[in-house]
Structure 1
Amino acid sequence: MTQFSHTQTAHCESGVISNMFRHYGLEISEPMAFGIGAGIFFGHLPFVKVNGVPGTTYRIWPGAIFSRVCKRLGVKMESHKFGSPDKAMQALDEVIAKGIPVGMQSSVYYLPYFPASYRFHFNAHNLVVYGKENGDYLVSDPIMDTVTTIDHENLVQARFAKGFPEPKGKMYYPVSVPKQVDFRGPIRAGIKQACYYMLKIPMPMFGVKGIRFLAKRVKDYPAKVGDRRAGLYLGNIIRMQEEIGTGGAGFRFMYAAFLQEAGLLLKNEELKAIGKELTAVGDLWRNFAFSAGRVCKARAADNMSYGDLGNMLLHIADEEEKVFRRLSKVKI
């Protein structure tokens, strides 16, 4: 049976990268993977509905972190999707029989080791299957505190869940991993890309402009869509921030940890200082979620309004813009 060193992480995609690469002798922390992959982002997409309400994202789209890290560190990956569950499970069995841990995309809803309250229809969750025992698959899910198992039927359902994005049995595994890499170039490339996405995308829905775009919409929610839908819209912003993956504030804290680690590695004090500034921005996001939750529950004792929430978001946008403008000018 393949031995696999499992470490619990904050986010599934960057966690799988860290755990899987470590298995092959390439030591990389989860924050470093997240930073090199330029995972930090913001987007508010009113035309992309999630369960009938506008979608908000605090990180780059699923799969992007993985592909960028592999490219920048010189890791070669094998990746497959499948038209049928039988072919997908046969391919998985063949690879793990060779002692190769396999990463895969799955739906959270069909993972029985998750508590019922955490099982919802989210099809971009990443995990590692590293073996098979008594008909069950051995699983390293990076957001769990220890390894676990899953039966054949539930794994098939998780790999072939319907809805966007359809996993289609996606599985991937490294075929070539360098034991040592020079992180300076990948760190520089990751920071440059993150600054571009946060500051320079011309469309108003993305980056710091996207936070301001959302702020204006939040202020108008009650007048535009009515109190009931306003509550649903606001609730989804909180859910996407605090429950999906690592959450908006969590991704800010993780990127701040990357900047601290990069500053230590490159002996760059400014990177460390900017990391502290971004940690403070993460605290602002947490405060926003708390206040928004009170508004959703109509707890008016603190007299918080949708207008106040919009102003909180505008302040967050200003602070994030300061951080990324400063970061874009750092010499690495």
Structure 2
Amino acid sequence: MINHSTFQHAQSAHCESGVVSNLFRHHGMQISEPMAFGIGAGIFFGHLPFVKVNGVPGTTYRTFPGAIFNKASKRLGVTVRSESFRSPEKAMQALDEKLAQGTPVGLLSSVYYLPYFPPAYRFHFNAHNLVVYGKKDGNYLVSDPIMDVATEIDPESLVAARFAKGFPEPKGKMYYPVAMPDQVKWEKPIQQGIEQACHYMLKIPVPLFGVKGMRFLAKRIQKYPHAVGDRKAGLFLGNVIRMQEEIGTGGAGFRFMYAAFLQEAAQQLNKPVLSTLGTELTAVGDLWRNFAFQAGRVCKSRAGDETSYKDLGDMMVQCAAAEEVLFRRLAQVKF
């Protein structure tokens, strides 16, 4: 049995930022999940109609998997190692070797093959992050950030989760810190994270990302019934809601988390304007939640004539306008 007594599980709102916080705290760096999320510039928006996920156009409210860990590590001066594998045997051998050394390891996995998830939540999503921190009686000890307590998984299920097929393929990816800085100076990492988030939301020239992407999707939503028919319109809209409210933390949840980051950064850097912007971003998160609620009613045909696809598009345009104003103000903050 591998010694696992020193790892402390903590529940979080989102898998990757939760893993970052848990791994870094295990190695002595006291960092909250919102701070990890903000320094890693996790907030984002993108709609990719040509990238199909289970046959439905993809929508994302966060940066690509692994970016939060990589960016936060680099900006905070943490040396990390990341490995992917072609062979399940080599992947599990490498994992066992790190656990034998007492090193908790972050893994990329598919939600569908995690038996400790309730059946209703086990769908084909291949970018879920978790920590494996030990072995006991042949099973692996798991700190899954979205679970309230630590759990365990059998080797066969873990192999299936690490090598699930589909987009994106986890390919047995594992990652972990190998060296931590002696001291953390927070100002520059926070500034870099904010600058990148503002770039993501305002300055990517392709009109599929940031606030431009929100407006692009809003127009498509308004055309869904005529462009793809009622059945597909419901499926497409349902996936937008699912990506917002069920996959990871989702759109509104990410806004609330980024707001918490801004408020924590305001205290860390003594910049009250960041706290003000955090409060305002919380209100934007409420707009997204209202959109999801109304969209869900439309999907279930419970809105009658009160809410239409056109109305939903207008709501998303309102979200885009609010975020554009907020991130332009955030971009002007002097550090």
**Aligned AA (1:59):** R
- Superposed CA deviations along residues 99-141 of structure 1, whole A, max 9, x for unmatched, are 1111111111111110000101111111111111110111111
Q: Does 1:216 align with 2:228?
A: no
Between the aligned partners of 2:52 and 2:82, the Cα distance in structure 1 is: 29
Give the corresponding residue for 1:150.
153
SS at match of 1:275: helix
* Dislocated runs of 4+, deviation >3 Å: none
C-alpha contact 1:25 1:179 (8 A) present in aligned 2? no
C-alpha contact 1:24 1:179 (8 A) present in aligned 2? no
Between the aligned partners of 2:91 and 2:182, the Cα distance in structure 1 is: 30
**Aligned AA (2:312):** L
SS at match of 1:205: coil
Q: Percent identity?
A: 72
- What is the aligned counterpart of 2:242 among 239, 248, 251? 239
- Superposed CA deviations along residues 42-99 of structure 1, whole A, max 9, x for unmatched, are 0011111111111100011111111000100111111111111111111111110111
- What is the aligned counterpart of 2:8 among 5, 18, 34? 5
Give the corresponding residue for 2:68.
65
- Shift of residue 301, structure 1, vs aligned partner: 3.8
- What is the aligned counterpart of 2:180 among 177, 180, 184? 177
**Aligned AA (1:198):** M
Between the aligned partners of 1:216 and 1:174, the Cα distance in structure 2 is: 43
Between the aligned partners of 1:33 and 1:82, the Cα distance in structure 2 is: 27
Give the corresponding residue for 2:51.
48
Between the aligned partners of 2:180 and 2:319, the Cα distance in structure 1 is: 39
Between the aligned partners of 1:77 and 1:200, the Cα distance in structure 2 is: 29
Between the aligned partners of 1:210 and 1:162, the Cα distance in structure 2 is: 28
After TM superposition, the structure 1 = structure 2 runs for residues 258-269 of structure 1, keeping only pairs within 5 Å, are 258-269=261-272
Give the corresponding residue for 1:280.
283
Give the corresponding residue for 1:319.
322
Give the corresponding residue for 2:131.
128
**Aligned AA (1:232):** L
Give the corresponding residue for 1:192.
195
- Shift of residue 319, structure 1, vs aligned partner: 0.3
Between the aligned partners of 1:188 and 1:204, the Cα distance in structure 2 is: 25
TM-score (ref. length: structure 2):
0.98
- Superposed CA deviations along residues 26-52 of structure 1, whole A, max 9, x for unmatched, are 010000000000100000111111111
Greater alpha carbon shift after TM alignment, 218-227 vs 172-181? 172-181
C-alpha contact 1:14 1:30 (8 A) present in aligned 2? yes
Greater alpha carbon shift after TM alignment, 166-175 vs 28-37? 166-175
Q: Does 1:230 align with 2:233?
A: yes
C-alpha contact 2:294 2:303 (8 A) present in aligned 1? no
Between the aligned partners of 2:273 and 2:296, the Cα distance in structure 1 is: 35
- Shift of residue 180, structure 1, vs aligned partner: 2.6
C-alpha contact 2:108 2:174 (8 A) present in aligned 1? yes
Give the corresponding residue for 2:96.
93
- Shift of residue 302, structure 1, vs aligned partner: 5.8
- Shift of residue 172, structure 1, vs aligned partner: 1.1
SS at match of 1:47: strand
Between the aligned partners of 1:323 and 1:232, the Cα distance in structure 2 is: 31
TM-score (ref. length: structure 1):
0.99
- Shift of residue 179, structure 1, vs aligned partner: 4.4
Q: Does 1:117 align with 2:120?
A: yes
Ranges in structure 1 where 5+ consecutive residues have no aligned partner: none
Between the aligned partners of 1:173 and 1:54, the Cα distance in structure 2 is: 32
**Aligned AA (1:150):** I
Between the aligned partners of 1:30 and 1:147, the Cα distance in structure 2 is: 17
